[in-house]
Amino acid sequence: MITRILAIAAAEFRTVRRNRWVFTATLMMVLFALALTFAGSAPTGVLGVDLLTVSVASMTTLAVYLAPFLALMIAFDAIAGEVERGTLGLVLTYPLSRGEMLLGKFLAHLTALAIAITVGLGAAGLASALSGGASADSLFALTRLIATAILLGACFLALGYAASALSGSAAGAAGLAVGLWLVFVVLYDLGLLGAVVFDNGGSFTKSVFPWLLAANPADAFRLWNVAGSEQVALVSGMAGAGAGLPIWAAPLSLLLWPVLALLMARLAFARVEP
Amino acid sequence: MMDNPTHALIVENLGKRYGKMEVLKGIGITVAPGERVALLGHNGAGKSTLIKLILGLTHPSSGRISVAGHAPGSTAARTATAYLPEQVAFHKSLTGREQLTLFARLAGEHPKTVMPLLDRVGLGPAAQQRIGTWSKGMRQRLGLAQALLGHRHVALLDEPTSGLDPMSRHDLYAIIDEMAANGTAVLIASHALTELEARTDRIAIMRRGELVADDTLARLSARAALPTRIRLTAREGAADHVQAQLGGTRVNGCSVDLQCTTDQKMAQLSRISGLGEVVRDVEMAPPSLEDLYRHYCGEGM
Ligand SMILES: Nc1ncnc2c1ncn2[C@@H]1O[C@H](COP(=O)(O)OP(=O)(O)O)[C@@H](O)[C@H]1O
Ligand SMILES: [Mg+2]
């Protein structure tokens, strides 16, 4: 089983390396992270924190948008694209289960994504630490940011596979992926915001809202990074949002999502006839 | 599922519908180890669908399939089966060697078997090039190479000659014979009866989802009793006279076409020679493979 998963992963990783996906994604991460870090370097003096802390706070916001985007971009083609190009039928006649195939792709894509995220956020973190100072606390925050961004990417990779298996064509899968990104990253928060405004400080805002926030992987990612560091929370101004939640809620959500989404993708994949 | 070991592949009363359309109706066919069977039929007859059902890529509406004694699509059945798809496609950014190594790993074969196989199908020199740069014929050869990985009990080749030049076709015969000699049951789907299909042990013919024939070439020819065609070339101006004597149809000025069954052939020939000088030339064409194919697959049956 492991041999087959690794065989798929190796071939898949070669493909994403050769079509420059790894390079392009890494470049995007580096450029955005550096730009945000140095554009957002103003409030250090006012808040009395080092530049790396500020940088981590702004990169958290960046990663919420960029990690799901990159993950969906790489994942949407995984199944629908193979059906369309006619490569899936032959592979599936080998003694390889669909679950193994999915895991192999997941492994390769997650590695590619992890490279882009680690290099991108790491480079910006290093640059700000060198120019504006760092502390044990802010270095830890940076490490946590990178690790959780990879988890967030893992979750959207799996969601992308589900979209890819559910749609009949690569173009349809791309559309569905954009839809997923909009819903999870933009619309969900807007909806919650509207509900909170409407509720006007009532019981919804106090008891339901934090849980709904943690249920969305993108928000769970934000909560985890913010709740983990008082200083990051201070800079990002998001301290209040997750206050009513137990400490494990956001991490649990972010760890559970990739697993559930992979199971979902596996179920959707089962119905695909090449 | 236990099955008679004399059959590597058993298909019983197989039916398949897509929505309201019945694509396969009551198909029954068996292939023994080492046997080569050609599966013929027009485009849309249901050949590829039958192969996909045997592979477990899609599921039957009725009937039963056994692949080397296992249910189609099971791990054991997939381990035992080689497949060459009709439209063979690979990862464009991988080299031939990398792609075949992937298949070898999936099949549980050692990667060191890959280079000899690529040489075997004539892809040795191109092994390190990306498949995206290859011609259709080269991809077809790679498809064949992956079907040769390991020892398989059943080989399903869907239109294996498409995209191959005559030389490659010749190699294909050799490879199919080698597979059969090693005890693999080979099923070759094709939309024509050519030299390749004629060299198989048995010919099965499908029409609109039904199996209309399943026999050796010799017996199919005998049963069809197709006429031999005779073309006479008459001396200038004598064609009308020849037609008046022998019947048949006039073609281009000085020729007359006749048909006769195998047992009438000698009688017809002596009548022709009886006409003497007026007949300048005689050509005889026994029923061709194409005639035979048209007889069984044609819509006029
Ligand atoms: N996935 C499918 N959905 C609907 N109809 C199909 C599907 N696959 C094949 N068919 C139909 O089944 C018939 C047989 O097709 P096929 O098995 O590909 O024929 P052949 O390989 O003999 O040319 C055709 O009429 C085709 O349109
Ligand atoms: Mg076909």
Beta-carbon pairs below 8 A across chains A and B: 64
User: Would you say residue A48 has pLDDT above 70?
Assistant: no
Domain boundaries, chain B: 9-215, 226-287
A94: chain B residues, CB-CB within 8 Å? 78, 103, 106-107
Q: Which helix (H) or strand (E) holds B231?
A: strand B228-234
DSSP structure class, residue B4: -
> pLDDT confidence of B301, banded at 50, 70, 90?
very low
Which mutation among B14, B17, B18 tests ligand 1's pocket best, with the greatest number of atoms within 8 A of CB? B18
Mean pLDDT (whole number) for A187-200: 86
Subunit contact A7:B105, Cβ cutoff 8 A: yes
Among candidates B185, B182, B148, which has minimal Cα distance to B7? B185
What's the pLDDT score for residue B1? 42
Interface of B with A (CB under 8 A): 52, 55-58, 75, 78-79, 81, 83, 85, 87-91, 93-94, 98-99, 102-103, 105-108, 143, 146
Residues of chain B above pLDDT 90, percent:
59
Give yes or no for a contact between B251 and B257, defined as CB atoms under 8 angstroms apart: yes
CB neighbours of residue A27 within 10 Å: 14
Q: Chain A: residue nearest B84 by CA?
A: A90
| Cβ-nearest to A19 among B93, B98, B105 | B93
Instruction: Give all strands (DSSP E) within B68-113, no chain letters.
Output: 81-84
- pLDDT bin (cut points 50, 70, 90) of residue B299 is low
Please state the ipTM of this predicted complex.
0.89
For residue B281, how many C-alpha atoms fall within 13 Å in the half-sphere facing its CB?
6
Strand partners, B156: B83, B187
Which of the four pLDDT bands, split at 50, 70 and 90, describes residue A158?
A: very high
In the reported structure, the alpha carbon of residue B163 is separated from the centroid of ligand 2 by a whole-number distance in angstroms of 14
- For a pLDDT cut of 90, what percent of chain A falls above it? 59
- Which ligand has the nearest atom to the CA of B25? 1
Q: What's the rounded Cα separation, in Å, for the pair B66 and B73? A: 10
Give residue B97's pLDDT.
97
Residue B73: what pLDDT?
92
**Cβ contacts of B57 on chain A, cutoff 8 Å:** 89, 92-93, 273-274
Q: Is ligand 1 within 6 A of the CB of residue B31?
A: no
Side chain identity at residue B83, one-letter code: Y
User: What is the least distance, in Å, from the CA of B146 to any CA of chain A?
Assistant: 10
pLDDT of residue A36 exceeding 80, the answer is yes
Separation between Cα atoms, residue B29 and residue B54, nearest integer Å: 11
Residue B85 contacts residue A86 (beta carbons within 8 Å) = yes
**How far apart are the C-alpha atoms of B266 and B160, rounded to whole Å?**
40
pLDDT tops 70 at residue B3: no
**Which two structure tokens, joined as six digits, stand for B182?**
């090693």
Cα(B10) to centroid of ligand 2, in Å? Answer: 20
Which of B75, B98, B143 lies closest to A95 in CB terms?
B75
Domain ranges, ordered by start, for chain A: 1-271
Residue A241 has pLDDT above 80, yes or no: no
Q: Select the more confidently predicted residue: B268 or A90.
A: A90
B226-287, what's its fold? Answer: Alpha-Beta Plaits (3.30.70)
Residues of chain A contacting B, Cβ within 8 Å: 3-4, 6-8, 10-11, 14-15, 18-19, 85-87, 89-97, 273-274
The CA distance from A185 to A193, in Å, is 13
Compute, in angstroms, the gap from residue A107 CA to the centroid of ligand 1.
Answer: 35
- Predicted pLDDT of residue B2: 46
CB contact under 8 A, B85 and A8: no
d(CA A271, CA B24): 21
Per-residue pLDDT at A44: 55
Cross-strand pairs, B22: B17
Ligand 1 close to Cβ of residue B18 (< 6 A):
yes
Give the pLDDT score at B70. 95
Closest CA to A166 of A100, A71, A261: A261
The answer on pLDDT for A228 being more than 90 is no
Q: How confident is the model at residue A50 (pLDDT cuts 50, 70, 90)?
A: confident
Please report the pLDDT score of residue B273 as a whole number.
85
B/e letters for B31-69, b = 16+ CB within 10 Å, e = fewer, are: bbbebbbbbbbbeebbbbbbbbbbbbbbebeebebbbbb
Please list, in sequence order, all residues whose beta carbon lies within 8 angstroms of the beta carbon of residue B156, skipping any fewer than 6 positions away. Answer: B51, B54, B55, B81, B82, B83, B84, B187, B189
The pLDDT of residue A53? 83
Strand partners, B285: B229
Which of these ranges, A175-189, A206-220, B97-111, B173-187, has the smallest mean pLDDT? Answer: A206-220
Contact assignment for B106 to A94 by CB distance below 8 Å = yes
For residue B33, pLDDT over 70 is answered with yes
Over residues A73-122, the pLDDT tens digits come to 999 999 999 999 999 999 999 999 999 999 999 999 999 999 999 999 99
Q: pLDDT tens digit string along A246-272? A: 888 889 999 999 999 999 999 999 999
Task: Tell me which ligand sits closest to the C-alpha of residue B46.
Answer: 1
Q: Which of A40-49, A198-207, A241-250 has the lowest mean pLDDT?
A: A40-49
Confidence of residue B187 (pLDDT cuts 50, 70, 90): very high
Residue by residue, DSSP assigns A44-90 as HHHHT--HHHHHHHHHHHHHHHHHHHHHHHHHTTTTHHHHHHT-HHH
Among A74, A97, A91, A77, CA closest to A17: A74
More confident residue, A67 or A42: A67
Asked whether residue A151 carries a pLDDT value surpassing 60, the answer given is yes
Model pLDDT, residue B143: 94
Q: What is the per-residue pLDDT for A233? A: 65
Whether this model's pTM surpasses 0.90:
no
pLDDT value for A47: 62
From 3.40.50.300, 3.40.50.620, 3.10.290.10, 3.40.640.10, which CATH number describes the B9-215 domain? 3.40.50.300
Helices (H), chain A: 2-18, 21-39, 44-47, 51-75, 80-85, 88-92, 98-132, 136-166, 170-181, 188-199, 203, 209-215, 217-228, 230-236, 249-270
Mean pLDDT of B233-238: 84
Residues in chain B within 8 Å Cβ distance of A1: none
> Please, what is the average pLDDT of chain B?
89
Q: Confidence band (pLDDT; 50, 70, 90) for B91? A: very high
Asked if residue B215 lies in contact with residue B229, where contact means CB atoms within 8 angstroms, the answer is: no
| Per-residue confidence (pLDDT) for residue B274, from 0 to 100 | 85
Residue A49 has pLDDT above 90, yes or no: no
Which of A137-146, A214-223, A231-240, B222-231 has the weakest average pLDDT?
Answer: A231-240
Residue nearest to atom 9 of ligand 1 (CA): B49
